Chains A and B, each alone.
Chain A
């Protein structure tokens, strides 16, 4: 590589960009919140597969006929063959069978229904567990990195991870994509996986710091830049192979894991960005400040 990008010099822009995206996300979260799936709120969710393109107006009319005033429906699937119908109140099994039979009369015997019913207690528990999970996983990761590296690396890594999680959640809020139980799994995978990249870079920074023993900011920033550049291909390639997998799941995997795949894809890309542009840059600012302080202490002691 002949052209060498100065990542450290551009770090103010990275911070600005990152803060702006997070701010946008927080505003969206405050204004419109998340489109919570059935797992987190009570009620029933029916996924009616009609095996043919659905006319939403016609399907809604059918449901109104059965006594569901202005039904909450949306179409999904590659050929818009899925009708997703949600109710705030749990539907009894008799009601579900009634709906299935009504659709079978119009669209033929192949109509199949997946049904999910959740009580609000469970939804609240799931949401609580999700938050606990992310916190505990973060603490575990901080502890491990502190043990293996130093606390500055650990906190820089965690800020990057939380950025990835928040960025993914923000996009789900902005586009109002449905957040369900597997979304939590996706976010936790991102939390675990995006540290991989960060650790590979930190590992190299530590090695180069030992080798060069930088004393000035220029020297330190050159170490960070070299380390990032040395690991850049690796960072991109490792993420790329997982991105291939997530893309394949998104394109071919079907409706049930569509949003899961989207979440992973966003998180993976954000993870690569945050390792280079957030974690490493926070570390250098922090490290430099403590180097300077140590230096002053030394001088005042003399």
Chain B
């Protein structure tokens, strides 16, 4: 993302030309030259995804790939750049304690909005739309994809078309990060309809740089330039989001030039070496927010002993897994926090692959080998099943490799992979698995809060509300998480989260393997494609993409 100054100059130029609707025309008359002036959009970019976006109301229950469309069509109030800094989009400025947007106690929010924004259908964007959006998210009958944070909002008040205020039930530091992925939708598009079935859901209207044009289900989505866009861009006449259901074919199509940008599910690591040598293609590795874990279910007797978890971790040959099976693409990690984060703890002890050490720990803890070579203690056999989504080849390879390593320290691991519907249903949510290979994105945007995953009260298997499927319950950690969530200033929060990472590394409710790294490829000559660890989709800044 270019910096905020640029945004500012753009706004000035818009004012200079008066009505926003005239801008595009005016700038094309004035010609290019000045960086601020908006050139007529030209050309098209075809983005290839290996999953199909199907949910176009950004607040309905959706999956990652659906967000690929949202960033083109909608804008949030504020957004996050790759460094984790917020910058305003529909809001005039990012609410902070310093600028008075958030009160010192973190309870009151006051937001000024842009006055030069129009919906794609020409109607003006106002504070009413913001109010509607925030209310829609917590509406009981709405199939909302996220209530966390929004359910704390009280007394939403539209002060003027460009100003809105609300109060939080209690201070909640991650809320800015949540706002950064909360796309504002137009109130008028939902009037008199059931929001679950509104026509809007299949023909979205936004404020974003691209307008919805058409969708050919199972094939592609076409977006057209919104020449009235208030911010940077758009530079392209058209963006086509092409669905290609097979990663191999996706890669082939980048090679042949059928797609311009290969995004979500990216280039598989085994093709990385070859991809780097392709002429006229830019191939880059960038960190993703997900962490590959061997998630352990601490409810199971085998994993209740920390010695077992520690010994297993010693028996994981991370280097070989990453270097050989994943071709050295992802980055080994000791924590759930992405390396790119301000809150990342780089002082954590580094795991070592040492089978003797593993055996020693197990011996010391009293796990003695039985006649079949498998250890046991107090009648509990050191045997468990490792599951993940069936059909994920690299994971299946890693599993089989681990199986062999674990066997060498007298641990019996069975592989029992499941179809996705079964794997991530009650099996995962209600902690019925033993060990699971899961890629988990612990964070919401750039915010370090992980209460959903680590709080004792977040265990769904015990009636809690959250994703603590490890059934990891540690009062010390609970206290720290509560403390970290109530402090707003990043400087004050940092030491708390460094501490949390130390505790999690010690307790090992999951064995961290690596932080995801994705390999994106695009044609030379495309500018603006940039990685952003804080947004989970490649097209987060599609508004700025352009051909040279």
A and B together in one complex? no
